[in-house]
């Protein structure tokens, strides 16, 4: 990617896509591991989204999109990425199972509360009927 700056005007060569060109023009030139763009490399390296969207669970590196160079951290190798990806998928599957268990428990509690409310309403109706019989 080549960018030339001449007196307050930035000229971007044709092989940079439109999204990158807009980011550069807006000053968002640093990209973290998950792809979020920032104005500052330190902010990019502390990206909160990487916790959820990066298989490592943290930001591993920051790239200057103007040059394509890593300016902070270290870009993981394919082996490191594959290992982290496998671990992340196992972790995400465990989290998904935990959420499903929690949702099932919430449904059971909700059903129990509905049954209790229905029983209380029925008991109230029996009490009303008994009072009418006593008259």
Q: What is the pLDDT of residues 38-95, one digit of tens each?
A: 999 999 999 999 988 899 999 999 999 999 899 999 999 999 999 999 999 999 999 9
For the record, the structure tokens of 22 come out as 């807009």
First to last CA, the chain: 93
How far apart, in Å, are the Cα atoms of 90 and each of 33, 55, 94, 96?
Answer: 20, 11, 6, 10
Say whether pLDDT at 4 is over 60. Answer: no
At residue 19 the predicted structure's pLDDT band, cuts being 50, 70 and 90, is confident
Give the residue from 73, 90, 108 where a domain finishes. Answer: 73
The radius of gyration of the chain from alpha carbons, rounded to an integer in Å, stands at: 29
Number of domains in the chain: 2
Residues 7 and 69 in one domain: yes
If asked whether residues 69 and 104 sit together in one domain, one would say: no
Tokens of 44: 């990019």
Instruction: In whole angstroms, give the CA distance from residue 17 to residue 11.
Output: 13
Which of these three, 73, 103, 123, is where a domain ends?
73
- Say what the pLDDT of residue 14 is: 53
Q: Greater confidence, 14 or 57?
A: 57
Q: How confident is the model at residue 7 (pLDDT cuts 50, 70, 90)?
A: very low
Q: Domain span at residue 28?
A: 3-73
CB 62 within 8 A of CB 45: yes
The percent of the chain in helix, strand and coil, each rounded to the nearest 5, is 55, 15, 30
Instruction: Name the average pLDDT for the chain.
Output: 87
Q: 29 or 131: which carries more pLDDT confidence?
A: 29
pLDDT of residue 20: 86
Calculate the CA 40 to chain-centre distance.
Answer: 21
Q: Is 68 found in the same domain as 25?
A: yes
Reply yes or no on whether the pLDDT at 8 is more than 60.
no
Q: What is the 3-state secondary structure (H, E, C) of 19-73?
A: HHHHHHHHCCCEECCCCCEECCHHHHHCCCCHHHHCCCCCCCEEEECCCCEEEEE
């Amino acid at each position: 990617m080549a960018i030339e700056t001449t007196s307050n005007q930035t000229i971007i060569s044709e092989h940079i896509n439109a999204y990158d060109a807009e980011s550069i023009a807006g000053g968002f030139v640093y990209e973290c591991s998950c792809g979020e763009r920032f104005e500052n490399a330190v902010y990019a390296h502390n990206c909160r989204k990487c916790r959820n969207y990066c298989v490592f669970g943290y930001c591993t590196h920051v790239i200057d999109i103007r040059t394509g160079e890593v300016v902070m951290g270290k870009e993981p190798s394919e082996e490191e990425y594959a290992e982290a990806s496998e671990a992340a998928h196992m972790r995400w599957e465990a989290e998904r199972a935990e959420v499903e268990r929690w949702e099932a428990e919430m449904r059971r509690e909700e059903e129990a509360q509905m049954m209790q409310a229905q029983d209380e309403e029925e008991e109230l109706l029996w009490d009303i009927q008994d009072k009418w019989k006593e008259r």
